[in-house]
Structure 1
Amino acid sequence: MAGSKDLAVFVREALSAGRSREEIAAVLTEAGWSAHEVSDALDGWADVPFAPPVPRPQPVVTARDFFVYALMFGALLFGAGYLVGLLHALIDHLLEPSGRTADHRIRWAMAVLIVTLPLYLWLATRERRRLAADPALQRSAIRSWMTNVTLLFAAAVLLGDLVAVIYAFLNGDFTLQFALKSLVVAGVAGGIFGYYRAGSARGEVA
């Protein structure tokens, strides 16, 4: 049974023989290949007038990238969670002083941020310099996956925050304290989402 490797070989040989991309796509579609499979197979080769066909650069996966990006994005999300917790504790402390409980939450959140914030900034700065020095590193599949997971997480938090606000409003529980906490969540999650969405579109975010 023919597989993706056979398809890639066929496309390469057809391009080497001087067949146009339209001809190749038509015959593959007639043979039963899906439009997505045909598009992927053709996209593997640069559309330039040269023989033999020139392969396009492909995404790369390395153990080093997995370690660095998992640590960096983990520090970001972990730290963001405790930043929200710190701001919530400060809101509670200001609007409803709760003594040692709020103080404990503030101290613990600050301890986490003292570790995660410098770690994230150091890793992000280091990776940004590597990307600037070698643009080929932007093809890291791990980097792309971690960026999109972060965007997904931030979007889910924003949607959950919106649902909570609507529910509190309908339930008559929409207080100043709740509103401030919701704004904190929206601000942190929205900031992360906006930063990585814009950077991902420009290919600049490490």
Structure 2
Amino acid sequence: MENIQTQTKLIGPKDVFLEFWLFGTLYLSAVFVVTLFFQYINYFFEDLANPYSFSQSTVRWTVAILIAVLPTHIFVLRLREKDYLAIPEKREARLRKWLTYLTLFIASITCVVDFATLVFYFLDGEISVRFILKVLAVATVAGGVLWYYLTDLRRTIPETPKSAKLIRIIAVVAVIAVIAGAFFISGSPFAARDQKIDSQRESDLQGIQSQIIYHWQKKGVLPTSLSELTDSISGYKAPNDPETGVPYEYKITDDLNFELCATFSTEISKDNGIGRYPMQNDSYLWDHGKGKTCFERSIDPQLYSSDNNLKTVPIFR
């Protein structure tokens, strides 16, 4: 009873906040480091059954969270170590013990499930390089956390051993290297901006194409220019290039054929899958290189019937 009262006096709201922050940021960092490892594996070892497993957006979000969370974890860790040196009893506080054992439990369960998953897929004959690497990624992170806190529990002195400090430095350097490498597979912020603008160009061209087909269906002829698509009732007006403000190029090549052209800043194809989503089955129709690209389109009169070709059905009374 006396020990509990003593700990209550030693552990204040600040200590509770710092302990929860320390372990909370640890969990977040571990989860997103594994996520980043998975994206590396998806990038270098493409899944033929799911070519969209690699996501630049996921990489960017993961890097952003790690950059925001990891420094605070390191900062709070240093604060707690100073507190433990000043008041060694804080290191033996019940709250810290509970959080430490909870962390050990989560890390242990993760390692066991990870190993069980490996054994299951091995017995099921579905082992692949991608799968083994992902299992190793989870085992490395969870095993590292498990080893570190098991070692920490066995310590009898408040000072952090040199070996533990060295391991922490290696872990931090490794995470920083992984984060830095992520910029090479996700592209620079400038490249991301160019991709978004190109995605808008694709969307604009798709909308213009739909309006051209609709115009042909209603009037039986292709519009002579994009300005003919302007509709004061529906409010539609052919958009211009989002970056330059220049109208998209439109050219009639035949009665049923036309071209739409735009100048792109990046290359997007079905091979790299950048900016694509699994449900976009027709996305390959808009593959383009860097620079000016023209898309040739041909209207199938049997598929897109013109209203002028529809025969009036007589009504008998």
User: TM-score band (shorter)?
Assistant: 0.5 to 0.7
Contact 1:72 1:120 in 2 (8 A): yes
Instruction: Give the alignment partner of residue 119 of structure 1, picking from 59, 72, 91.
Output: 72
Alignment-derived partner of residue 87 in structure 2: 134
Contact 2:42 2:54 in 1 (8 A): no
Contact 1:91 1:180 in 2 (8 A): yes
Instruction: Give the alignment partner of residue 171 of structure 1, picking from 102, 114, 124.
Output: 124
- Looking at structure 2, the residues matched to 66 and 157 of structure 1 have their Cα atoms a distance apart, in angstroms, of 26
- Looking at structure 2, the residues matched to 175 and 181 of structure 1 have their Cα atoms a distance apart, in angstroms, of 10
Further displaced range: 137-146 or 56-65: 56-65
Contact 1:161 1:185 in 2 (8 A): yes
Write the letter of the residue equivalent to 1:104.
S
Instruction: Give the alignment partner of residue 104 of structure 1, picking from 49, 57, 70.
Output: 57
Alignment-derived partner of residue 189 in structure 1: 142
Deviations 1:116-140 (A, max 9, x none): 1101111011101110122122232
Q: Which structure exhibits the higher relative contact order, with contacts defined as CA atoms closer than 8 Å and separated by 6 or more residues?
A: 1
Report the 3-state secondary structure (helix = DSSP H, G, I; strand = E; otherwise coil) of the residue aligned with 1:96. Answer: coil
Q: Structure 1 residue 99: deviation in Å?
A: 6.3
- Looking at structure 1, the residues matched to 4 and 59 of structure 2 have their Cα atoms a distance apart, in angstroms, of 51
Report the 3-state secondary structure (helix = DSSP H, G, I; strand = E; otherwise coil) of the residue aligned with 2:117. Answer: helix
Report the 3-state secondary structure (helix = DSSP H, G, I; strand = E; otherwise coil) of the residue aligned with 1:87. Answer: helix
Report the 3-state secondary structure (helix = DSSP H, G, I; strand = E; otherwise coil) of the residue aligned with 2:55. Answer: helix
Identity of aligned residues (%): 27
Report the 3-state secondary structure (helix = DSSP H, G, I; strand = E; otherwise coil) of the residue aligned with 2:134. Answer: helix
Task: Give the paired residue count.
Answer: 153
Relative to structure 1, is the Cα distance of residues 175 and 105 closer, same or farther in structure 2, using a 3 angstrom cutoff?
same
Identify unmatched segments of 5+ residues in structure 2: 161-317
RMSD of equivalent CA atoms: 2.3
Deviations 1:61-95 (A, max 9, x none): 53322211111101100110010000000100001
- Looking at structure 2, the residues matched to 186 and 77 of structure 1 have their Cα atoms a distance apart, in angstroms, of 15
Contact 2:7 2:90 in 1 (8 A): no
Structure with max Cα Rg: 2
Q: Give 1 or 2: higher helix fraction.
A: 1
Q: Give 1 or 2: higher strand fraction.
A: 2
- Looking at structure 2, the residues matched to 87 and 154 of structure 1 have their Cα atoms a distance apart, in angstroms, of 17
Instruction: Give the alignment partner of residue 87 of structure 1, picking from 21, 29, 37.
Output: 37
Which segments of structure 1 move beyond 3 Å, counting only runs of 4 or more?
55-62, 97-101
Write the letter of the residue equivalent to 2:123.
L
Relative to structure 1, is the Cα distance of residues 164 and 80 closer, same or farther in structure 2, using a 3 angstrom cutoff?
same
Write the letter of the residue equivalent to 2:35.
G
- Looking at structure 1, the residues matched to 22 and 154 of structure 2 have their Cα atoms a distance apart, in angstroms, of 20
Alignment-derived partner of residue 18 in structure 2: 68
Write the letter of the residue equivalent to 1:163.
A
Deviations 1:150-200 (A, max 9, x none): 111101100110111011101111111000000000000000010011011
